[in-house]
Structure 1
Amino acid sequence: MLTEISDIEKAGIRIKDRLFISPRCNIIMPYHKLLDKLYEEAKGPGKIGTTGRGIGPVYADKVSYNGIRIADLLDSEVFSEKLQTQLRVKNKILKALGAKPLSQSQIERDFAKYRTRIKPFVSETFSILNDAYDKKKNILMEGAQGVFLDNDFGTYPYVTASNVISGSASSGAGIAPAKVRSVIGVTKAYTTRVGAGPFPTELTNKLGDKLQTGGLEFGATTGRKRRCGWLDLELIRFAAKINGFTEICITKLDVLDNFPKIKICTHYRLNGRRIKYEDCDLKTLEKAKPVYKTYKGWMKSIKDAKNFRDLPKEAQIYLRDIEKMVGVEITYVSTGVKRNEIIKI
């Protein structure tokens, strides 16, 4: 985060009084990253493909009352006391897993620098957001990860440590659920996944490679190649229901420009019967067979399209069928990588 702040400031963008960090935020400590990697290595063939950034361990500490928060960092005495307590436990675990223990004095020196740098941005965000709402200002919140990385409703254990569905915005930001007016679901025109986990529509052939290359599909955090497959409407329908989508934005439609045939997964079947995502455990989802509807591709660039009517007929049919099968209106479609290459329907 401090690197991002520096990069933005170097670009000449003022962020003072524009960036606010909640004092309630839990801090990813050096031992969290180490433990994340050590836990993953210890699982052997049962690895889940963690990013190794310490997310799981910091959330584990949060819910087990062992977290160190931004508010603690700002008080050097409190920070030192809490760090001492945690290192009593964490260094024993690190040693048991074959790693060297961490030095409290070194961590305190490092975090003293962070304290100085971050302090100007720390502010109680609850008041900021609710005051903005009371003044009828627009508030835009963005989900941290995709729906199916949600800790409860995603493809557990191949998920993230937190809840990322729209309802989590209330608990995360401190905004009452009734105050949320609209929920925009964002999905690519095809499906991707980083790391391990079930992926019913995955294409492990040249078509998958074509999607990966054309869409520049690399993980934002790790740089790993994303797995790619056809659009999965079984997942989109579930996502629309659990999040309460009021509208949908389809991104990367242009990646499909050079596909003579395009498929959409309409639903799953297993052992001769139709099954829903919400009824699947991990083992069942891995066995589920996607049922496809095939579409004729448009085989031309759509990047110059300015409105829905400018899109090729085949692309219009593709989008309208998504709307019908999901039951939510598509209001935005991206047709290229530039900011202005987007259509509002």
Structure 2
Amino acid sequence: MPAYAVLGAQWGDEGKGKIIDYLASKANIVARFSGGNNAGHTVINDLGHFSLHLIPCGIFQDGVMNVIGNGVVVNPDELIEEMEVLKSSGLSLDGKLMISERAHLIMPYHIVLDNLSEKSKGNSAIGTTGKGIGPAYSDKTSRTGIRAADLLDMSGLKDRLENVMEYSNAVITKIYGGDPVCLDDLYQKCKIWADTLGSYIGPTGKFVNESLDNGGNVVLEGAQGILLDLDHGTYPYVTSSNPTIGGVSTGLGIQPRHISSVLGIFKAYNTRVGSGPFPSELLDSTAEKIRTIANEFGTTTGRPRRVGWFDGVAAAYSTRINGYSSAVITRLDVLDGFEELKVCVAYDLDGELIQELPGGVSALGRCKPVYETLEGWTTPTAGVSDIKTLPHAAKKYIARLEQLIGCPISIISTGPHRDQTIMPESVI
């Protein structure tokens, strides 16, 4: 049976959490495959308001296994804290959570290195979340990482830590002038992690593949978005993993043939957090109005998000890379009450009109948006669940986005709750 990928189609923060929570009711498994606790997925339900950074958004559905795949880098302290928050809300995690034995761990020295490196760059800083994501992936690539399976072999872990920390502490102290991380303290912390998380660690790749082979439905939960992808994003202002469709197979260990559909999640406008080019960015009162209405502040960092009009050039690029079978538009209700709306349909690069996202960060930074103006609407869309009741101008706006994205729009979100959703046809 099929797997359904749900991917961020912009710079992240598109509202994937609500959509995945909505679709999870028809799934057997919801699985994360990339990123770490730099992601922030918001779910609002009868139990409360939750910000999930590591645990997949299917955790609120009975009978759904939530998998943290091998492509995710896991901060054990953050994961344990997240688990405790859910338990304190009356949610049982028994039989509902599995961590890949192959997932790499974010260690305290990764966080130290991340922040020291970012600080040393001054005005040239990337704008990372400071969560240790990049250094953890760097260690994975250099084959010095610590994996979840290592917590199940404490006798062998200490020797590995000694070797790894000798180098990491040398970088911290001799290059950045920071304080070293204590080996004994970290080893004691690892014992706590092993006691708390050991029973959740297992062969997730085998588990997910067996479910697919036996007819199960799997929702693949993307983190961040394509424009932050290490290869296909606005490099170097990107994350350290692949939140695109190619990251699914490597980050979860499933065969591409199982993926039957790919949902691209788009906001009805654009946002991004941190540094980097953003062609359709608004720096006026309109941006502040959208930011205030939509509470556009990072779920993970709390930083104000940069705001811009919908970028059709980036959207078409996103579709070409990820091959969306359909798209989801979120936050449509945020645009209620605007007399007119703009969408970026091309870029002006040094006097030349282009409709392709440049690969070079300098060129993208010089791109000026070419806008098309559309009529706004005054009738509220907030909470609407029937497409027939959308204002005519809102329908025209959605139709134009569909043209620019290049695939059908299957879901429209008009609010943060599950029932504030328009879905004419089931996507699962």
The two structures share one fold, judged by TM-score above 0.5? yes
2:256 aligns with 177
1:52 aligns with 130
> Of residues 132, 136, 143 in structure 2, which corresponds to 1:65?
143
Aligned residues: 345
- Please give the per-residue CA displacement for 1:180-220, whole angstroms capped at 9, x wherever unaligned: 00000001000000011100000011000011111111111
How many angstroms apart in 2 are the aligned matches of 1:29 and 1:78?
A: 17
- Please give the per-residue CA displacement for 1:65-104, whole angstroms capped at 9, x wherever unaligned: 1101011122112210111001111111111211111211
2:182 aligns with 103
SS of the counterpart of 1:182?
strand
1:251-330 equivalence runs, <5 A: 251-330=330-409
> Of residues 33, 36, 39 in structure 1, which corresponds to 2:117?
39
Structure that is richer in strand per residue: 2
1:198 aligns with 2:277: yes
SS of the counterpart of 2:400?
helix
2:80 aligns with 2
> Are the aligned partners of 1:277 and 1:285 in contact in 2 as well (CA < 8 Å)?
no
How many angstroms apart in 1 are the aligned matches of 2:341 and 2:246?
A: 33
2:314 aligns with 235
> Are the aligned partners of 1:16 and 1:121 in contact in 2 as well (CA < 8 Å)?
no
1:13-162 equivalence runs, <5 A: 13-96=91-174, 97-162=176-241
SS of the counterpart of 1:164?
coil
**Which amino acid is the alignment partner of residue 409 of structure 2?**
I
SS of the counterpart of 2:344?
strand
SS of the counterpart of 2:412?
strand
- Please give the per-residue CA displacement for 1:276-300, whole angstroms capped at 9, x wherever unaligned: 4443310010011111110111022
> Are the aligned partners of 1:258 and 1:299 in contact in 2 as well (CA < 8 Å)?
yes
Alpha-carbon RMSD across the aligned residues, in angstroms, is: 1.1
Identity of aligned residues (%): 39
**Which amino acid is the alignment partner of residue 68 of structure 1?**
I
- Compute the TM-score of the two structures, normalised by the length of structure 2: 0.79
How many angstroms apart in 2 are the aligned matches of 1:31 and 1:243?
A: 34
**Which amino acid is the alignment partner of residue 123 of structure 2?**
P
1:203-218 equivalence runs, <5 A: 203-218=282-297
Gapped regions of structure 2 (runs ≥ 5): 1-78
- Compute the TM-score of the two structures, normalised by the length of structure 1: 0.98
SS of the counterpart of 2:184?
helix
> Are the aligned partners of 1:182 and 1:246 in contact in 2 as well (CA < 8 Å)?
yes
How many angstroms apart in 2 are the aligned matches of 1:304 and 1:56?
A: 39
> Are the aligned partners of 2:315 and 2:404 in contact in 1 as well (CA < 8 Å)?
no
Shift of 1:304: 4.1
**Which amino acid is the alignment partner of residue 30 of structure 1?**
P
> Are the aligned partners of 2:350 and 2:366 in contact in 1 as well (CA < 8 Å)?
no
> Are the aligned partners of 1:267 and 1:290 in contact in 2 as well (CA < 8 Å)?
yes
How many angstroms apart in 1 are the aligned matches of 2:292 and 2:384?
A: 23
Considering only CA atoms, is the larger Rg found in Structure 1 or Structure 2? 1
Between stretches 275-284 and 90-99, larger displacement belongs to: 275-284
**Which amino acid is the alignment partner of residue 340 of structure 2?**
K
How many angstroms apart in 2 are the aligned matches of 1:319 and 1:257?
A: 13
> Are the aligned partners of 2:385 and 2:419 in contact in 1 as well (CA < 8 Å)?
no
Of structures 1 and 2, the one with the larger relative CO (CA 8 A, separation 6+) is 2
Between stretches 275-284 and 319-328, larger displacement belongs to: 275-284
Between stretches 174-183 and 299-308, larger displacement belongs to: 299-308
How many angstroms apart in 2 are the aligned matches of 1:175 and 1:251?
A: 28
> Are the aligned partners of 2:357 and 2:364 in contact in 1 as well (CA < 8 Å)?
no
How many angstroms apart in 1 are the aligned matches of 2:160 and 2:282?
A: 48
> Are the aligned partners of 1:73 and 1:115 in contact in 2 as well (CA < 8 Å)?
yes
1:164 aligns with 243
Between stretches 296-305 and 171-180, larger displacement belongs to: 296-305
SS of the counterpart of 2:254?
coil
